[in-house]
Amino acid sequence: MMRVMMWFILSLIPAVTLANVYPLPEKGSRLIGEVQEHVVEQGDYFQTIAKEYNIGILELMETNPGVDPFLPAVGSKLVIPTQMLLPDVPRKGIVINLPELRLYYFPTNGKEVHVFPVGIGRVGRETPEMVTKIKSRIPNPSWTPPASIRRDHLIERGEVLPRVVPAGPDNPLGKYAMQLSHGDGSYLIHGTNKDFGVGMRVSSGCVRLNPDDIEWLFHQAKYGDSVRVINETVKISSEPDGSQIIEVHSALSKSESDKTREKVVSMKAGIVKFISQDGIDSFKANDALLTQNGLPVNISSMDDSDSITPSMDIESAASAESSVSENEPSASL
């Protein structure tokens, strides 16, 4: 019932977004942006707020735990997660970090990064990690759903999907799609004809963007551009000013039952070494690993603050191409 209610509410919201653009940080730094505050007004709920700041609803929930996403208290302050560490990968092309539900686009000018919320594969149809490239760019795509999706759709909804869904308002790919070279080419970065699902795990494996975002990205990204999909729950950075920053996101659920369990962060050797070095406040580090709120936290022992973000009254908030293809993609959606 809660899922049905959420989808109904989200369907009433117009899909108007504005890209978040950040200048690249100085050499040796990975920290971009600033945390913002949002004072809840009458009629606000998480999806309207997420649309306003062009962030995903799940990242807003991650940053503001305990707050009712449908009825946040009027007058309370919410944390808007518009500060982040860049993923520890080459800064080129498209980078998608699955636990963040964010897409990073690095233009060739090397001056900025554009960050967008994305929808990714749901449990059982996960978006895979990959290092690939854009195989084709398709305006006004038709959709050829694979047999597995047609079968699941029939079982789950009792509806028969057509073998080909033509371009138009009923096409779930939206107005633009970019086919990836990975595997058999069934994975796409595409838009949507719905006003919900971006910033959530609802797709059949493809990466979904808001209509305005995919339109912009489609006209910037080129055939052959790099696309890297990663699964990085913990990001770290030793900043030029000596700050030691960690950002922790909840791990992706691997099954339906896994959703109700406490998520244990799996750390690579480099992260264990980072939080074990001299000058790290172990209490702050452990708190960040347990909280998993997706915000950059300064865990330097010399730092007086627990976080590089403003102080937030969360308890109060909780209570109160150069090549364009005309092919029809057979896509996971």
207-208 and 188-190 strand pairing: parallel
What band does 176 get if pLDDT is binned at 50, 70 and 90? very high
Note the residue count of the chain.
333
Residue 324 has pLDDT above 50, yes or no: no
**Closest residue by Cα to residue 64 from 87, 38, 84, 86:** 38
Is 114 an active-site residue? no
pLDDT tens digit sequence for 212-241? 999 999 999 999 999 999 999 999 999 999
Burial (CB < 10 A; 0-12, 13-18, 19+), residue 135, is buried
Q: From the CB of residue 31, how many other CB atoms can be counted at a distance below 10 Å?
A: 23
Six-digit token string for 152: 């699941």
Structure confidence at residue 257 (pLDDT):
58
88-95: average pLDDT = 98
pLDDT > 90 fraction of the chain, expressed in percent and rounded = 68
Residue whose entry in the numeric block shows the structure tokens 């109160």: 320
Q: pTM higher than 0.95, yes or no? A: no
Of 38, 114, 190, 249, the catalytic one is: 190
Structure confidence at residue 321 (pLDDT):
37
104-115: average pLDDT = 96
Structure confidence at residue 178 (pLDDT):
98
Of 182, 206, 219, 249, the catalytic one is: 206
Helix, strand, coil shares of the chain, percent, nearest 5, are 25, 25, 55
The C-alpha atoms of residue 40 and residue 45 are separated, in whole angstroms, by 8
73-81: average pLDDT = 98
- CA torsion through residues 29, 34, 100, 106, sign: negative
CA distances from 141 to 94, 249, 285 (A): 21, 34, 46
CB 297 within 8 A of CB 307: yes
Is 206 an active-site residue? yes
- CA torsion through residues 237, 36, 100, 185, sign: negative
Which residue did the predictor score with more confidence, 9 or 205? 205
**Closest residue by Cα to residue 212 from 188, 191, 187:** 191
pLDDT tens digit sequence for 249-304? 999 987 665 555 556 677 889 999 999 999 999 999 999 999 999 999 999 997 65
